[in-house]
C-alpha cells in the first residue's frame, strides 16, 4: 500500500486562544507545505494540518487519518512547543502504534538528541528535509531492497533502542529545483490580507542571539527572483480579492540589491496587483534602494534593530550603526511605507540604562517617522545560538530550562547587571509606550 503522509504544525502554546483573540493573520507553515508538495511530486499522497488555527479534536483527527489511510505523520518542532508535540505524539501512538512519526524543524535540527530519545519518535530529520524524507518514504514503502535506513543521509533513528545518527546531508543548493508551494492544500479562503512567501534560506549574519545559520545553514541560498515572481502570480490567482498583500519572510530579503531591483522591476512592469513587504537589515539599506522599493508598491519593511545602544549592538554582532538606522528610517518617511522595528531587552551586556536607551530610540524613531511601529521582546537563549552555547563565557545564567517558557516574553536569564524581575519590569514598561505592538 502506498504510504500517505500527513504533516502537522502545532502551536507554541497550549491553546490557540492568542490567535483567536488577537485576530492573527492566517499563514500556515510554509516548510510543511513545501515538504508535502515535494513528496506529492514523487507520487506520495500528502496532506497538511496546521493546529495553530484549529483546536485539536482528536476524534476528528483519527477519523481523518483513518479515511485517508495515513501511515506517516511528520512534525515541525520548535523549542517552545516540544512538550506539546510529545503529548500529541502519545495520543497518536495510543490510537495506532503502527503510524510512523517523523520530526523535523528548528529544534530537531538544533537538539536532535533531545527529540530522538522520546519513545514515540521513530525518526528525526534535521536541516533541509526534502530528500531525506523522500528516501525514508521509499524505504517505508519498498523496504531495504531499494534503500536501507543506514544509507539514508541525514536520518536519525533508533535500532534496538540505540540511537543511530547517519552522516549529515548537505542543504538544498539550488532552491529553484523545489516545486512552487500550492496553497490550495490548506484552507485558502481563510487567508485575510497577507500571504507569506519565502525566497531564500540561511543567513549570512552571525548575530549571537539568532539560530538562523544553525538551522538553515550559514550559506545564504536564494531562489531566482523570477521563480519568486512566478509564485507571486500563482498566489494572486489562488486567493480571494481581499487577500491583497505579500510578505517575504526571509531573514533579510534585501541582502542582494540587484535581486531586489529586479523584483521591483518585475512587480512594476507586470503591474502585479498585490502590495508587498519584507524583512531587511539596516546595514544593507541605502537611500537609492529605499527609493526603488518605495516606487514599487511596497507597504512595509521590518528591521531587526535589537538595541538602542551601539556598544550592545557591537557586542551581539549586530552589524548595524544607529546613525545609519536613523537616516534610513527618516528617508523611508518620504513614502507611504510602514516601518516595523524589532528590538529585545536583556542582552548579555545590557544594563538598566542601555535598556532604557532602547526605549528612547524607538520613541525617537516614532517622532522621526510617524509610520514607525515596533515590537519589544525579551532576549531568549534558544539552543543552538552562540549565546546559549557560550552562556557561561558571556556571563549569562540560564534560570529556567522549561522550554515552554522560551516564548520571548518570559525572562529565563539573569546577568550581573539584571535579574528576571528587573527584566520583566523593563519589558512591561517598554510595551506600555505609545507605538508598541
CATH number at residue 15: 3.40.50.2300
Residues 158 and 199 reside in one and the same domain: no
Does residue 253 contact residue 199 with C-beta atoms inside 8 Å? Answer: yes
In percent, the amount of the chain with pLDDT more than 90 equals 81
Rounded Cα distance between 258 and 191, Å, is 31
Residues 121 and 198 reside in one and the same domain: no
Residues 283 and 200 reside in one and the same domain: yes
Residues 52 and 92 reside in one and the same domain: yes
Q: What is the Cα Rg of the chain in Å? A: 22
Residues 116 and 11 reside in one and the same domain: yes
pLDDT, tens digit, for every residue of 351-377?
999 999 999 999 999 999 999 999 999
Within a domain: 37: yes
What does the DSSP 8-state code read for residue 308? S
Residues 112 and 200 reside in one and the same domain: no
Per-residue confidence at 220, pLDDT binned at 50, 70, 90? confident
Residues 150 and 195 reside in one and the same domain: no
Question: Final residue of a domain: which of 130, 165, 200?
Answer: 165
When comparing pLDDT for 354 and 24, which is higher?
A: 354
Residues 146 and 212 reside in one and the same domain: no
The domain total for the chain is: 2
Rounded Cα distance between 276 and 298, Å, is 5
Residues 298 and 403 reside in one and the same domain: yes
Within a domain: 186: no
Residues 141 and 244 reside in one and the same domain: no
pLDDT, tens digit, for every residue of 228-264?
999 999 999 999 999 999 999 988 899 899 999 999 9
Within a domain: 251: yes
Rounded Cα distance between 209 and 349, Å, is 12
Within a domain: 120: yes
Within a domain: 174: no
- Closest CA relative to residue 51, chosen from 95, 96, 92, 99: 92
Domain that holds residue 40: 5-165
Whether the pLDDT of residue 15 is over 50: the answer is no
When comparing pLDDT for 422 and 171, which is higher?
A: 422
Residues 298 and 347 reside in one and the same domain: yes
Residues 196 and 158 reside in one and the same domain: no
Question: Final residue of a domain: which of 165, 199, 220?
Answer: 165
Amino acid at each position: 500500500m502506498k504510504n500517505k503522509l500527513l504533516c502537522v504544525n502545532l502551536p507554541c502554546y497550549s491553546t490557540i486562544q492568542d490567535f483567536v483573540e488577537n485576530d492573527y493573520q492566517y499563514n500556515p507553515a510554509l516548510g510543511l507545505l513545501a515538504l508535502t508538495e515535494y513528496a506529492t511530486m514523487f507520487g506520495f499522497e500528502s496532506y497538511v494540518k496546521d493546529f495553530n488555527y484549529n483546536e485539536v479534536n482528536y476524534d476528528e483527527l483519527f477519523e481523518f487519518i483513518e479515511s485517508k489511510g495515513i501511515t506517516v505523520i511528520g512534525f515541525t518542532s520548535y523549542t517552545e512547543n516540544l512538550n506539546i508535540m510529545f503529548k500529541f505524539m502519545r495520543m497518536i501512538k495510543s490510537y495506532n502504534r503502527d503510524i510512523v512519526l517523523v520530526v523535523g524543524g528548528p529544534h530537531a535540527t538544533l537538539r536532535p538528541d533531545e527529540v530522538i530519545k522520546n519513545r514515540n519518535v521513530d525518526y528525526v530529520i534535521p536541516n533541509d528535509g526534502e530528500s531525506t524524507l523522500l528516501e525514508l518514504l521509499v524505504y517505508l514503502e519498498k523496504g531495504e531492497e531499494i534503500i536501507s535506513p543506514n544509507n539514508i543521509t541525514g536520518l536519525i533513528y533508533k535500532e534496538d533502542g540505540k540511537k543511530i545518527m547517519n552522516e549529515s546531508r548537505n542543504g538544498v543548493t539550488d532552491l529553484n529545483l523545489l516545486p512552487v508551494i500550492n496553497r490550495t492544500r490548506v484552507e485558502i479562503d481563510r487567508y485575510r490580507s497577507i500571504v507569506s512567501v519565502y525566497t531564500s534560506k540561511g543567513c549570512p549574519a552571525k548575530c549571537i542571539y539568532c539560530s538562523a545559520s544553525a538551522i538553515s545553514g550559514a550559506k545564504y541560498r536564494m531562489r531566482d527572483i523570477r521563480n519568486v515572481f512566478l509564485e507571486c502570480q500563482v498566489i494572486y490567482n489562488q486567493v480571494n480579492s481581499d487577500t491583497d498583500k505579500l510578505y517575504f519572510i526571509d531573514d533579510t530579503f534585501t541582502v542582494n540589491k540587484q535581486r531586489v531591483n529586479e523584483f521591483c522591476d518585475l512587480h512594476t512592469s507586470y503591474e502585479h496587483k498585490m502590495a508587498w513587504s519584507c524583512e531587511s537589515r539596516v546595514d544593507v539599506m541605502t537611500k537609492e534602494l529605499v527609493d526603488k522599493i518605495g516606487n514599487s508598491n511596497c507597504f512595509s519593511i521590518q528591521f531587526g534593530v535589537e538595541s538602542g545602544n551601539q556598544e550592545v549592538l557591537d557586542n551581539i554582532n549586530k552589524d548595524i550603526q544607529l546613525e545609519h538606522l536613523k537616516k534610513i528610517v527618516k528617508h523611508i518617511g518620504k513614502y507611504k511605507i510602514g516601518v516595523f522595528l524589532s528590538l529585545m531587552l536583556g542582552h548579555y551586556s545590557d544594563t538598566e540604562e542601555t535598556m532604557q536607551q532602547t526605549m528612547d530610540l524607538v520613541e525617537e524613531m516614532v517622532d522621526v517617522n510617524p509610520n514607525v511601529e515596533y515590537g519589544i521582546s525579551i532576549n531568549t537563549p534558544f539552543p543552538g545560538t552562540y549565546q546559549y552555547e557560550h552562556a557561561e563565557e558571556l556571563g549569562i545564567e540560564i534560570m529556567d530550562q522549561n522550554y515552554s517558557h522560551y516564548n520571548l516574553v518570559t525572562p529565563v536569564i539573569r546577568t550581573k547587571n539584571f535579574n528576571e524581575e528587573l527584566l520583566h519590569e523593563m519589558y512591561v514598561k517598554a510595551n506600555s509606550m505609545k507605538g508598541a505592538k
